[in-house]
Structures are given as C-alpha cells and as structure tokens.
Amino acid sequence: MSMSETLELVSENRSFGGWHKRYRHYSRALDCDMIFAVYLPPQAEEGRVPLLWWLSGLTCNDENFMQKAGAQRLAAELGVAIVCPDTSPRGTAVPGEHGSYDLGSGAGFYVNATQTPWKTHYRMYDYLVEELPSVVRLRLPVNGRESISGHSMGGHGALILALRHPGRFRSVSAFSPMVNPMECPWGKKAFTHYLGDDVSSWRQYDACELVANGASRQRLFIDQGESDQFLEEQLKPERLEQVCQEHDHPLTLRRQPGYDHSYFFVASFIEDHLRYHAEHLYK
Amino acid sequence: MSMSETLELVSENRSFGGWHKRYRHYSRALDCDMIFAVYLPPQAEEGRVPLLWWLSGLTCNDENFMQKAGAQRLAAELGVAIVCPDTSPRGTAVPGEHGSYDLGSGAGFYVNATQTPWKTHYRMYDYLVEELPSVVRLRLPVNGRESISGHSMGGHGALILALRHPGRFRSVSAFSPMVNPMECPWGKKAFTHYLGDDVSSWRQYDACELVANGASRQRLFIDQGESDQFLEEQLKPERLEQVCQEHDHPLTLRRQPGYDHSYFFVASFIEDHLRYHAEHLYK
C-alpha cells in the first residue's frame, strides 16, 4: 500500500445508526496532509453502498456540511455514504495562503493551479478527480456508484466535475453554485491567481462554458435562495439558465423565496437532493 | 417598554419555511447584553405556538444547537418554537471569566451565584426562570405552553428548572445530562466557585437531590450515549436511576450504544424528543 492510501482515523462519532468518521492522509497531488470526512450509513455494515460526494464552499473544511446540513438522517434512511473533502490544501506555507478568505487556504476553487506560487500545492482538481476517489474506493465500503453535490464554490466544483466527466456521476446537484466564475469577482480573482491572465485556460473550470461547449447532457439540479446575499454579484443563476436553454441542456433551477446563502438554507432542502441522488444511485 | 424588553435583531435566516432569528437584549438579572436564538416555525405566522426551551452545554452559546441538532425540520412539522439562550453572562470582565472552559464564560451552570466575584453577573437561574421568559412571551408569537430540554450542563439546567417548578413545563427531557453535579468534578468546581463551600446551598441545583426531596412527579425523559467520554466521571446516570426508583419518580432513561457526547448524538435522537414534547404541548 502506498503512502497516499494510508488513512489515519482522526475521529469517529456514531450518527443515526451509522458512523461519521474523519481521516487524515498524505495527498501526492497536493503534497500535504489532508483530512476528509465520511458518513457511512448503517447499510454499509452489511455491504458496499453508493456514494455522494459533497464539495463545500469558501472558508469551509470537511466539518461544515457534516455538522450543519442534517444530511445523515437521510443518508441513513436511503443507504448512501457521503464523503466531504476539504476545500484546499492545508499548511503548505504558500505565500499569501492565509491573506484572504477567497484565495488560498479554504478557497481551492477545485482547479489545478498553473501559476507561481500556487502550482506546487493547489491542485484540487486532480485531487478530486483521481487521488481521493482512488483512496475512497479502496478503503471504504462503497460500490462505485457515485453522485456529486456541493454549495457555493463547492456547487461550482460539483458542476464542473460532472460536466467534464459525462457518465461518471449518476446525478449532480448544487446549492447556490458559482455557475459562471469567469464573470464574477470571486472567480476572476481566484482564476487570475491560480491560472494566470489567459482567460482561455479558465473555460475548463466554468460551468456555463462547459454547458456551451461540452459533451454532457446530464441534468443539473440546483437550488438557489432568492435572498442570497451573493446572488446578484457572484452567483448569477440566470446565466446558467440562459446557456442551458440555448444549448438544450436539462436544468432544474428552483428559486427559493426568502432563503439566504447559509447552511440553514442547505439544511432546509438537503432532503430533496439526497432523495434525488438516491433515486439515481439505486436505479 | 423597559430596557430589558427591547430586542435588537442580530440576524435572521429562513429555515424550513420558518425563521431562525438571533436577538440581543440587555438583561437586568445578569447586568450585561445577552444574545438568544429562536426558531419560529411556519405556523407562527398564523398564530401563537407552543415553545420548547433548549439549554446548551459547556462552551456553547445560542448557536450550537441551532446549527448542529437538525431540530428545525421537526419544529416546522410539529409547529413548535424553540428558544436557545446563551449558557452564561458575556463580556462582564469578572476576574477569571475566561480562565477555563468549565467555569465562567460559557459555563453558567444555570445557578444564581452567591460568591464574589461571580455574584454580580452569574445569575443564570433568575435569567431563565423570570427575565427571559417574560421577554419571550411579550415579544414572540408563543402561547404560554412550554417544555424544556437540554444537553449536558444544559440537561442539568432543564432537569432542575422542571423539578423546581412543577406544572410550569408540559414535559422535560435531556441528552447526556449532569444529573448529580454535587458529586461530579465539573459540578463541584462550579458550585464551589459560584455557591461557596456550604454544600447545603448546592442541593437546590442538583437533580438527584430535587427528586429525593422535591414535589415534582413529572416524568424525566433522558437519552444517554453509552460511549460518552464523560459518562463515568461526570454524568453518572445510574445515580438518577437509583434515586428515581427509591422515590417512585417516573423516569425514561435510554442508553444508546456507541453514541458519544457530541451533537452527532443529539441530532440522531432529537426527533424522538421533539415528538415527545409536541405531544405534551398540543395535548
């Protein structure tokens, strides 16, 4: 077993008849130790179960979703495991890593950085496409059926991973995702630092661009709060709506009146998403 | 309207069709500003609803339960409001207030301190018996039917408030409560500092003593994780079990195999508690 497949159990908590566990492992892609969390439903004690990936947003780590979304109840009922990766490399001592909440630590944006000083560690795309899935499939009782979801920056991550890998995820959903990071302040800042000034290299990480130019026709299921404080400047779901309409890409976009960007919003609708994914995972 | 009835809205989040709100107000009992949280279910927009008080444990404030317990889904379904007070006065500059996690800030133990330097601010018992309920009944859409629950130190608080005020709460429950604080390290330390060396003054704040000597015959409903890291040294549920048996006090004590002291445990069984309270609140 190679180093990257060695898992150290950080903590475990019994939860809804299953287990919430946190593991530490060395990531080759990121060249640092990483922690991820998994919820294993009770069914995982009898055999292998399908898996939902959850990608979190800016400033989060593996803990936010597991503590705040209330997903374990449904995952236990439906027999679905959930893995929550961290949102960036950690403790890499890259200059500027801790300078702002929307760049560096806690803000990996699920891309492979090509620019100095980020390119040596900030390779979350590779980490999530190749390395962590290999570890999870090898070491956890999962059966290879996978879906993906996420929130905000993590919604962006879920959409681009699904759009770039048709057939890999049985279903994809997102809460309040950055659908067009090339054209919003958060995305422009991060992509400039991680990918440089050549915007043609940004398109592979932009859901609107991937819908316009991609091979996937997988339905995108999105919940967006109408009172989200980031709606107009950063999230702009109408852009995805328009490009999906132009390119005949299936989209279910629900606007939820009164809801904001917080996990109170995610928790309110996580049941719909988990039931949606379970339908596809058990089909 | 007096000062203590002036509420400042700190934040609000739509949640399961209702609202999670945080309010700041000046407490006369504690002589400081306090924040509390409330969940108002959708039914509260149509009329007044019953109320569950939730008292939290060491180190917590009003946020832990609201973010981690997953109670809003049930509260919305059942039509029950939930109020989460803070666990101590805040920002009072009492010497030693921030010296340890189990004394001072975040560790009010729901008592009225009689000892210097604590006695000027650390009067959580009065705050919860008189002042905050008055504010809540006056300013929030509640109908006067109330139940109470809590976790750990907050389970202790819920039990002593219910045992000392027969008839006031329609039902009482607790997760992992300190049932006999006079005889555990946490309680001994706090009671010595807050109440002094005369242990006779401690008995009014000890659930086992109140069962042995009190007027209440209200059922106590308790969940306790069997893998709780504080079970043997601090919590000692068998003491309450014994005194309830000796004094013919109704007790439902469920021991949950594998569960620890965390909110993963609380979340796993909060549905049972909310349904139990709703049955009594709507009877």
3-state secondary structure chain A: CCHHHCCEEEEEEEECCEEEEEEEEEECCCCEEEEEEEEECHHHHCCCEEEEEEECCCCCCCHHHHHHCCCHHHHHHHCCEEEECCCCCCCCCCCCCCCECCEECCECCCCECCCCCHHHCCEHHHHHHHHHHHHHHHHCCEEEEEEEEEECHHHHHHHHHHHHCCCCCCCEEEECCCCCHHHCHHHHHHHHHHHCCCHHHCHHHCHHHHHHHCCCCCCEEEEEECCCCCHHHHHCHHHHHHHHHHCCCCEEEEEECCCCCCHHHHHHHHHHHHHHHHHHHCC
Residues 190-229 of A with CB under 8 A from B: 225, 227
Residues of chain A with Cβ-Cβ distance to B17 below 8 Å are 268
Whether the link from the prior residue into A237 is cis, omega within 30° of 0, is no
The pLDDT, as a whole number, for residue A5 is 66
pLDDT for the residue A214: 85
How confident is the prediction for chain A on average, in pLDDT?
96
Looking at CA atoms only, how far is residue B11 from chain A in angstroms?
11
Chain-centroid distance of CA A223 in Å reads 15
Task: Report which DSSP code applies to B134.
Answer: H
Q: How many Å lie between the alpha carbon of A20 and the closest alpha carbon of chain B?
A: 8
State how far the alpha carbon of A223 is from the alpha carbons of A272, A273, B42, in Å: 10, 9, 20
Q: Is the pLDDT of residue A163 over 90?
A: yes
Contact between chains at A72 and B225 (C-beta distance less than 8 A): no
Q: Do A264 and B14 touch (CB under 8 A)?
A: yes
- Integer Cα distance of B70 and B74 in angstroms: 8
The more confidently predicted of residues A276 and A99 is A276
What is the value of ipTM here, to two decimals? 0.94
Nearest to A89 by CA among A126, A134, A129: A126
Domain extent listing, chain A = 3-282
Model confidence, pTM: 0.96
Q: A15 and B267 in contact by Cβ < 8 A? A: yes
What pLDDT score does B188 carry? 98
B68 at interface of A, judged by CB pairs closer than 8 A: yes
Per-residue pLDDT, averaged over A272-277, amounts to: 98
Determine what percent of chain B is predicted with pLDDT higher than 70: 98
Q: Which residues pair with B35 in a beta bridge?
A: B24
Has residue A174 got a pLDDT over 80? yes
Probe site for chain B from A14, A64, A262, A265 (most B CB atoms < 10 A): A14
Contacts of B225 in chain A (CB under 8 A): 14
Nearest to B70 among A17, A73, A258 (CB): A73
Q: Annotated catalytic sites of B, by residue?
A: 152, 228, 261
Question: Any idea which residues of A carry the catalytic annotation?
Answer: 152, 228, 261
Is the predicted pLDDT of residue B5 greater than 70, yes or no?
no
Fold entry, domain A3-282: Rossmann fold (3.40.50)
- Per-residue pLDDT tens digits for B166-209: 999 999 999 999 999 999 999 999 999 999 999 999 999 999 99
3-state secondary structure of B60: coil
Q: Is B1 a residue whose pLDDT tops 90?
A: no
Q: CB contact, 8 Å: A101 with chain B?
A: no
Mark which residues 250-269 of B lie under 8 Å from A by CB. Answer: 256, 258-260, 262-265, 267-268
- Nearest-CA distance A264 → chain B (Å): 5
For chain A, what percent of residues have pLDDT higher than 70? 98
What rounded mean pLDDT belongs to chain B?
96
